[in-house]
Amino acid sequence: MAESLAVVLHDVAPATWPLYAPFVAELDARFAVPLTLLVVPDYHRQGCLDEVPDFVAILDRRLARGDELVLHGYYHDDPGPVPPTPGAWLRRRVLTHEGEFLVLDAVTARERMERGLALFRRRGWPVSGFVAPAWMLGPGARHALAGLPFTYTSDPAGLWRLPEFTRYLAPTLVWSARSRWRRGVSWLWNRGRLRRYRHAALLRLGIHPVDMAHAFSRRFWLAVLESLLPERRAVTKRAWLESRQ
- Whether the predicted pLDDT of 130 surpasses 60: yes
User: pLDDT: is 47 or 2 the higher one?
Assistant: 47
User: Rg for the chain (alpha carbons), in Å?
Assistant: 17
The CATH label, of 3.40.50.1100, 3.30.470.20, 3.20.20.370, 3.40.50.720, for the domain at 4-243 is 3.20.20.370
Q: For the segment 136-189, what is each residue's pLDDT rounded down to a tens digit?
A: 999 999 999 988 999 999 999 999 999 999 999 999 999 987 778 778 888 999
- pTM score: 0.92
Mean pLDDT of the chain: 91
Q: Can you give the length of the chain in residues?
A: 245
- Whether the predicted pLDDT of 242 surpasses 60: yes
Handedness of CA 10, 12, 16, 17 (dihedral sign): positive
- Whether the predicted pLDDT of 105 surpasses 80: yes
Is 135:114 a contact under the CB 8 Å cutoff?
A: no
Handedness of CA 161, 12, 208, 34 (dihedral sign): positive
Q: At what angle do helices 215-228 and 17-30 cross, to 10 degrees?
A: 30
In which band, very low, low, confident or very high, does the pLDDT at 93 lie, cut at 50, 70 and 90? very low
How far, in Å, CA of 66 to CA of 199, rounded?
A: 26
Measure the CA angle with vertex 226, ends 224 and 228; round to 5°.
65
